[in-house]
Structure 1
Amino acid sequence: MDLESKLAGRPVFVTGADGFVGSHLTEKLVEYGAEIHVLVRATSSGELNNIRQFSEDVTVHRGDLRDKHSVKEALSVMTKYSDSLIFHLGAQAHVGESWDRPYETIDTNVTGTLNLLQSIVDLDLDIAKFDTAGTSEEYGNVNEEMVEKHDFEDEGGVLLSERSPVNPTSVYATSKLAADFLTMNFNDAYGLPTVTTRMFNNYGPRQNPRYITGTIITQALERDIVELGNLTPKRDMCYVTDGVRGHLHVALEGNPGEQYVYGYGENISMRDWTNLILDVGAEENYWEQPEIVQDEDRYRPGDSDVEELLVGHEKLTELTGWQPQVDWREGVRRTIDWYANNKQAWYGRVDWR
C-alpha cells in the first residue's frame, strides 16, 4: 500500500500524540504530509517531550481525555474537514501502574474513550475511520472453559487472533477491553466507522523506561545488575514502527465495525528477551554483561500475570499486505542506541533507583 499517497494532505487527529506509540505515529504522519491535529494532556509546563521537533508541522490542542469539555473543544476543529482519520492512542498504558492507580486508569481509558466517541456524535464529524488502540493484554490467560474456542500452534502454544476469547487479568486490560466495546457500540448505534486494533507488545525508542525493555536497558547502562520480576511469561515483541504501520493500514483499509490484531508473529520468554538485549548491548560495547536478579516485589499481584501471548495476524496481512519489517536484534539495537544517547529523556522516570 502506498501510504504517502493516501495520507498527503489528509486531516488527522491523534490522541496521546506525545506518548510512545503516538509520537512515532505523529512522526510518520508528518513525513507523509498529513494535516495533523494532536491532543496532548494539559500540564503547567506545557512541555512536549517527544514531538517538540514536529511543532511546526502539527497543531497542538491541550486537554484531558477525562474532561468532556476539553475533548469536545479540541475535536471541534475537525468540523471544517471531511473524510478525516482519528487515532485514539491516549491512555494510562502501564499494567503495573493500573494496580497502583486503578481509578485513574478506568477514568482515562474508559471515560476518556467515551468522551471522544460522544463528542464525535455531538459535533456530527465527517470521519473516515476512528481507530481505538487496544492491547494484547485483553486476552489474558486461557480459561479452561473456553479452551475449545482457542487456536493452538503445532507446538501447543495458544495462537491469538480476532476470534480468540478475551479474559483480562488486570485493571489495565479490563479498561482497554471496555474501550474496545464502547468503540464498537458507537459503530452499532450511530454508524461511526470505528475499528479496534490490538497491538502485541510494542517496544522501541521513546518508550517509558518502566516497561520491560526500557528497564532492562536503562539498568544495564547504569549499573552492574538488572533487577526484574517474573521472567517466565512469553510475549510477542513488535518494534514500534511496525506497530505504527499497522495502525495506518487498519485506518486506511480496515472495515468499519471490525477488529484487527497484529504483532511480530513469534514470542519469546522474558528471560530470553533479557538475554537478547544484554547480548546485543555487550556486542555494541554499551556495557559488560550485568547480573540478572529476580525481585518478587516486581511481580504482578497474585495470579494476574499473563503466561503467553502470540499473535496470528493473517486477517490484517491478507487484507492490506502488512507484515513486520524489523527483526528483534535490529529493533533491540535501535532501542539501546536511543536510550544510550537520550539519558535526559528517561533518567528521572525509572523505577529501579
Structure 2
Amino acid sequence: MIWSRQALDHLRADFGDAYSGRTVLVTGADGFMGSHLTDALVELGANVHAFVRATSSGALNNIGHLRNRLEVHFADLTDRTSIDYLVRELKQAPDRPYVFHLGAQAHVGESWHRPYETVMANTVGTLNLLQSIVDWGLELEKFDTAGTSEEYGNVRDDVSHHHDFDDAGGLILHERSPINPKSIYATAKVAADFLTMNYHDAFGVPGVVTRMFNNYGPRQNPRYVTGTIITQALTRETIELGNLEPLRDFCFCSDGVRGHLTVAAHGKPGDVYVYGQGENISMAGWVEMILRIGEEHGFWPAGRTVTTTPKRYRPGASDVMALRVGHEKLTRETGWAPKVSWEEGLLQTIRWYAENRERWIGRVDWLPTGAPTLT
C-alpha cells in the first residue's frame, strides 16, 4: 500500500463524498496504476468492480489482498462477449457507475514486438467497451480514458509555433499541444482518446481523457525504465540501459491516482486533462538519482556503473526526446498538484523492489548475475 494513514485520511477528505458507496468499474485493475487506483477506491468505500484480463490461471498479482472487498470480473477487452456480460451486470447498479479505463498494453518497446496485440487491446478494446455501453444503454457518471504523454511525441518544425516553451527554451506540454505519436503504443492511445471523444459527441457518453506523464512506483513492471534501473542495481554491478539523453517528467503513482480521481469527479465531459510532476530530468540524471538514493539507504553498495547498449534504444528515429507537463488547467479547475517529491517516491519504490524480489525477478529483461546461459 502506497498510502500512509495520514495520506488515506487526506484521500477520504478530498474524495469521500464523490466515491463512497458509488459503483465503480476499473479496467486493468490488476495492473500497476490500476491496482493502486483500485486500492484507493476500496479505501474510499466505493463498490468496486475490477475488470481483469482473463487468463487460464486467473491469478491476481496486485489486488489479491482486496479479493473479499471487491467484485472481480475476468474478461478481455478484445472479446466483446465478455464485455457485454460485464456491462449488462453493471446495468443492475443502483446508481450511475464511474468507469476508469486503464486496461491496455502499456509498454512502448513491447508495442514494436506485439503491434497487433497493442492495437487490439488499446484501440479496439476501447471501442468494444464504449460500444457495449451504448448498446446496453448504460448511463455513466464519468468515463475516464487513460491516455499518455507519449502521444505528444517530438515537436514538428511546421507546428512548433503552437507549442509552449519556457524562457530557457524548454518544451512544456498542455492539453492542446499538437500530438505526434512516435510508437505503435502512442498511436493506439491517440485513437483511444479520440474514440472516447467520438462517443461523447455522438452518444453523450460522459468521457474525459487523462494523459499521464511517466508514472512510477511500487508494483510497476520491471521492464519499465525505473524498475529496470532499480532491479539491476539490486542484483548486479552494471546497469544496462538505452538512450540516456531523453528528458522525462516522472510522477509518483499516488499522485497519478489522485489525478484520475480528480478528473473523474470534477472534470468536464468531452475534455482532456494532463498531469505530472511539472518538471523533467534526463535519463542520465534519473539513473544517477536512483543509484545515489539506493546507496545512501543501504540497498546496494557504492560503485554501481551504467552502460548503454543499442539493443535498448527505440527503433530508428522513434525516440521521444522531451516530455514535461504543464498541469495549470487541472490545478486551476480542481486544485490538483503533485505531493510526492522524486526523492520520496524513489525511496518508496526502491524499498518495494528490495522487499518483493519474488514479484519481479522472473519478469526482468536482463540476465541476473550468476544465471546460467543457454548455448
TM-score normalised per structure 2: 0.93
Structure 2 counterpart of 1:190: 203
User: 94, 103, 117: which one pairs with 2:130?
Assistant: 117
Residue 115 of structure 2 aligns with an amino acid whose one-letter code is: P
Provide, for residues 252-294 of structure 1, a one-character-per-residue CA deviation record: whole Å limited to 9, x for no partner.
Answer: 0000000000000000000000000000000010102311011
Query: 1:32 and 2:38 equivalent?
Result: no
Q: Which residue pairs with 2:24 in the alignment? A: 12
Distance 1:107 1:2 in 2: 36
Matches within 5 A, 1:174-189: 174-189=187-202
Deviation for aligned residue 1:2:
2.2
Shift of 1:71: 1.0
Q: Does 1:346 align with 2:355?
A: no
Deviation at 1:155, TM superposition (A): 1.0
Q: Could you tell me which amino acid in structure 2 is paired with residue 222 of structure 1? A: T
Q: CA deviation at 1:126?
A: 1.5
**Which among 262, 267, 278 is matched to residue 265 of structure 1?**
278
**For residue 212 of structure 2, what is the aligned residue in structure 1?**
199
Q: Match of 2:140?
A: 127
Q: How many Å separate the matches in 1 of 2:331 and 2:133?
A: 30
The amino acid of 1:303's aligned partner reads: A
- Give the aligned residue type for 1:249: T
Q: Is 1:224 matched with 2:261?
A: no
For 1:256 and 1:126, the matched residues in 2 are separated by 13
- Alpha carbons 1:233, 1:269 under 8 Å: kept: yes
SS at match of 1:130: strand
Matches for 1:143-158 after TM superposition, within 5 Å: 143-158=156-171
Per-residue deviation, residues 216-269 of structure 1 (Å, max 9, x unmatched)? 000000000000000100000000000000000000000000000000000000
Distance 1:221 1:4 in 2: 39
1:88, 1:234 → 2: CA distance?
A: 27
Match of 2:7 in 1: none
Distance 1:80 1:315 in 2: 36
Give distance in 2, aligned partners of 1:311 and 1:281.
27
Match of 2:316 in 1: 302
In structure 2, C-alpha distance between the alignment counterparts of 1:180 and 1:155, rounded to whole Å: 31
Q: Which runs of 5+ in 1 are unaligned?
A: none
Q: Which residue of 1 aligns with 2:74?
A: 62
How many Å separate the matches in 1 of 2:357 and 2:88?
38
**CA distance in 1 between partners of 2:139 and 2:311 (Å):** 49
Which residue of structure 2 aligns with residue 95 of structure 1?
Answer: 108
**In percent, how many aligned pairs have the same letter?**
60
Which residue number in structure 2 is paired with residue 45 of structure 1? 57
Give the C-alpha shift of residue 83 in structure 1. 2.2
Amino acid across the alignment from 2:359: A
Report whether the alignment pairs 1:138 with 2:151. Answer: yes
The 5 A counterparts of 1:326-345 are: 326-345=340-359
160, 170, 173: which one aligns with 2:183: 170
Contact 1:8–1:34 at 8 Å: present in 2 too?
yes
Q: What residue ranges of structure 2 are gaps of 5+ in the alignment?
A: 1-12, 368-375
Q: Counterparts of 1:189 and 1:6 in 2: how far apart (Å)?
A: 27
Q: State the match for 2:329 in structure 1.
A: 315
Deviations 1:125-144 (A, max 9, x none): 12110000000000000000
CA contact (8 A) 1:18 1:51 kept: yes
Q: Which amino acid aligns with 2:200?
A: N
Query: 1:6 offset after TM fit, Å?
Result: 1.5
Q: Which amino acid aligns with 1:14?
A: V
- Structure 2 distance, partners of 1:91, 1:152, is 31
Report the 3-state secondary structure (helix = DSSP H, G, I; strand = E; otherwise coil) of the residue aligned with 2:211: strand
Contact 1:201 1:237 in 2 (8 A): yes
Following superposition, the deviation at residue 167 of structure 1 comes to 0.2
1:291 counterpart (289, 305, 325):
305
Contact 1:127 1:193 in 2 (8 A): yes
Shift of 1:344: 0.8
Alpha-carbon distance in 2 for matches of 1:325, 1:72: 39
Match of 2:197, SS state, is helix
Asked if 2 retains the 8 angstrom alpha-carbon contact of 1:62 and 1:74, the reply is no
In the alignment, is the contact (CA less than 8 A) between 1:235 and 1:270 conserved in 2? yes
1:213 corresponding residue in structure 2: 226
User: For 1:284-314, what per-residue CA distance to the aligned partner results, in whole angstroms no more than 9, with x for missing partners?
Assistant: 1010231101111100000000000000001
Residues 35-87 of structure 1: CA distance to partner in whole angstroms, max 9, x if unpaired? 00011011111110000000011100011100111111112221022221000
AA at the equivalent of 1:32: L
SS in 1 for 2:135: helix
One-letter identity of the residue aligned with 2:223: R
Give the counterpart of 1:105 among 113, 118, 127.
Answer: 118
Alignment length, in residue pairs?
Answer: 353
- What TM-score do the two structures reach when normalised by structure 1? 0.99
In 2, Cα distance between equivalents of 1:352 and 1:167: 31
8 Å Cα contact 1:219-1:225 kept in structure 2: yes
SS of the residue corresponding to residue 192 of structure 1 reads: coil
Q: 1 CA distance for matches of 2:258 and 2:168?
A: 29
